[in-house]
Amino acid sequence: QVQLVESGGGLVQPGGSLRLSCDVSGIIFRLYNMGWHRQAPGKQRELVAAITGGGSTNYASSVKGRFTISRDNAKKTVTLQMNSLKPEDTAVYYCNVQGRPDWGQGTQVTVSS
């Protein structure tokens, strides 16, 4: 069974930073591409960033230059460093194993003054 546990969310002011983490179990982690998604109230879930098993990355235009995705295959974790946060970044953030329907509970990020 694939298990995904997101953490690191919270309340921050505009311009602030957060680092999200996702602990993964139930798969041979290093073989899979990973992604971070987010869902804001009233909106569809969207892909924010993705990383292959080999470390190649892709970002949504809205976060490019501000967010960085990374992974540690030994620890079986994927992280999302978020800088220069904006109110429109407010959402529940989820990590996902690419090609699988599994989702964790997510972690809430709220950007507000």
DSSP alpha helix (H) spans, the chain? none
| 92 pLDDT tier (thresholds 50, 70, 90) | very high
> Cα-flanking dihedrals φ and ψ of residue 29, to 5°?
-55, -45
- Across 83-109, average pLDDT: 96
Query: Tokens 């953030």 sit at which residue?
Result: 93
In this prediction, residue 99 carries a pLDDT of 87
What pLDDT score was predicted for residue 90? 98
Check whether 24 has a pLDDT greater than 90.
yes
Instruction: Kindly report, residue by residue over 29-73, the tens digit of the pLDDT.
Output: 999 999 999 999 999 999 999 999 989 999 999 999 999 999 999
* Cα–Cα distance for residue pair 5/20, rounded to 1 Å: 11
